[in-house]
Chains A and B, each alone.
Chain A
Amino acid sequence: MIAQHLPILQVVLPLLAAPICMFIRHPRVVWMWAFVTAWLCLPMSVGLLLKVLEQGTIVYNLGGWAAPWGIEYRIDILNSFVLIIVSMIGAIVLPFARRSVEREIPQKRIYLFYTMLLLCLAGLLGMTITGDAFNLFVFLEISSLSTYVLISFGKDRRALTAAYRYLIVGTIGATFYIIGVGLLYMATGSLNIADLAVLIPNIGGNRTVQSGMAFLIIGLALKAALFPMHMWLPNAYTYAPSVVSIFLSATATKVAVYAFIRVVFSIFGDVNILEILPVRNMLMVLAIAAMVIGSAAALYQTDVRRLFAYSSIAQIGYIILGISFDSVTGVTAGVVHLFNHALMKGGLFMVLGLLAYQIGSTKIQDIAGLGERMPLTMAALVIGGLGLIGMPLTAGFISKWYLIQAAIDIGLWPIAFIIVLSSILTVVYVWRIVEVIYFHRPVNPINDIDRAPISMVAPMWILIGATIFFGINTNATLEIAGAAAKALLAGGV
Chain B
Amino acid sequence: MKEKIILRVISKFLIPYILLFGLYVQWHGDFGPGGGFQAGVIFASGFILYGLIFGVSNVRTAVPSAATRILLPLGVLGYGLVGVMGIFKGGNFLDYNVLAAAPTGGQHLGIILIELGVGVTVATAMITIFSTFASRAELQKPRDEER
Contact = CB atoms under 8 A, between A and B. Distances in A.
A8 B92 contact: yes
Nearest to B69: A22
A392 interface: no
Nearest to A19: B73
B91 interface: yes
Interface in A8-53: 8, 12, 15-16, 18-20, 22-23
Interface of A is mostly: helix
Nearest to A61: B92
Interface residues of A, number: 16
Interface in B79-133: 80-81, 83-84, 86-87, 91-97
B87 A19 contact: no
A399 to B, nearest CB: 36
Q: Is the interface of B mostly helix, strand, loop or mixed?
A: helix
Contacts of B96: 63
Contacts of B92: 5, 8, 60-64
A62 B96 CA distance: 10
Contacts of B70: 22-23
Contact of A19 (B77, B84, B91, B93): B77
A1 interface: yes
Most buried by B among A5, A8, A16, A63: A63
Contacts of B63: none
Contacts of B72: 19, 22
A161 B124 CA distance: 27
Nearest to B88: A1
B76 interface: yes
29 contacts: A1-B87, A8-B92, A12-B80, A15-B80, A16-B76, A16-B77, A16-B80, A16-B81, A18-B73, A19-B72, A19-B73, A19-B74, A19-B77, A19-B80, A22-B69, A22-B72, A22-B73, A23-B70, A23-B73, A60-B92, A60-B93, A62-B92, A62-B93, A63-B95, A63-B96, A64-B91, A64-B92, A64-B95, A64-B97
Given A61-B92, A62-B93, 14 more contacts: A8-B87, A8-B93, A12-B84, A12-B93, A16-B76, A16-B80, A19-B80, A20-B77, A22-B69, A22-B70, A60-B92, A63-B93, A64-B91, A64-B97
